[in-house]
Amino acid sequence: MNKKRVAVLISGRGSNLKALIGACAAPDFPAEIALVFSNVESAEGLTVARDAGVPVVAFSHKSFASREAFDAAVDAELEKAGIELICLAGFMRIQSDSFVRKWEGRMINIHPSLLPAFKGIRVQQQALDAGVKISGCTVHFVVPELDSGPIIAQAAVPVLADDTAETLAARILVEEHRIYPAALRMLAERRIALRDGRAVLLT
C-alpha cells in the first residue's frame, strides 16, 4: 500500500497525535505519520512521537521576525520530509494566508466544539456559559479564516448539569480520538475533497 505521508503539527501534550499514531499503525491504514513538528520545544507530544519512532522537528516561532518567515521555515521542513497531508492537533499558531493556501485541501484540524459554534480558545467554557445542552468536536479543512473551514466530520456529546470545562473537555476528547483518525482515512483515501469551499464526499 502506498501510504500518504502525514505531518502532525502540535504545541502541547499530543493526545490526538497519539490517537493518529495508533490508527496509522494498522496495516490497512492509508497514511503514515512521517513527521511531527512543534513550535514548543518542550511539548509533551514530542516525547509521544519519539517513543513511537516518528521523526520530530521543533523550533519556536519566537525566533522569527514574522509569521510568514516562521511558516516558510515550517514549510521547508515539510517539503524536506516529503509531506503530502497535514493534521493540526492542538497547534496553537494562526498560520499565514500564503501557507494555508499552499496546503489548501491537504490540511485538516480538530476543534473541540460543534463548529460553527464556539470558535477560538476556551471553547468548553464558552459552551457552558451559553447554556447549550449538546457540544462536541469537529474535523474541518483549514482555510485562512480561523476555525471556519468546511466540515469533514463531527461528533456530539451531552453537556451535563454538573459539567465543568474540564469534565466536558475530557468527554469531548474521547470523541476527538475517534473521529480524527476516521477523517484522516477519508482524506488519504481520496473519499473527501475540498471543492468550491465545501467538503465533498467522492465516490
Q: Is 200 helix (H, G, I), strand (E, B) or coil?
A: strand
In whole angstroms, what is the distance from residue 199 CA to residue 153 CA?
10
Contact (Cβ atoms closer than 8 angstroms) between residue 123 and residue 159: no
Q: Assign 3-class secondary structure to 139-193.
A: EEECCCCCCCCCEEEEEEEECCCCCCHHHHHHHHHHHHHHHHHHHHHHHHCCCEE
Contact (Cβ atoms closer than 8 angstroms) between residue 113 and residue 151: no
In whole angstroms, what is the distance from residue 110 CA to residue 17 CA?
11
Q: Is 76 helix (H, G, I), strand (E, B) or coil?
A: helix
In whole angstroms, what is the distance from residue 91 CA to residue 37 CA?
9
From the list 61, 111, 140, 177, the catalytic residue is 111
Assigned C-alpha cell, 171? 468527554
H or E element that contains 70: helix 67-80
Q: Is 61 a catalytic residue?
A: no
Which residues form the catalytic set?
A: 111
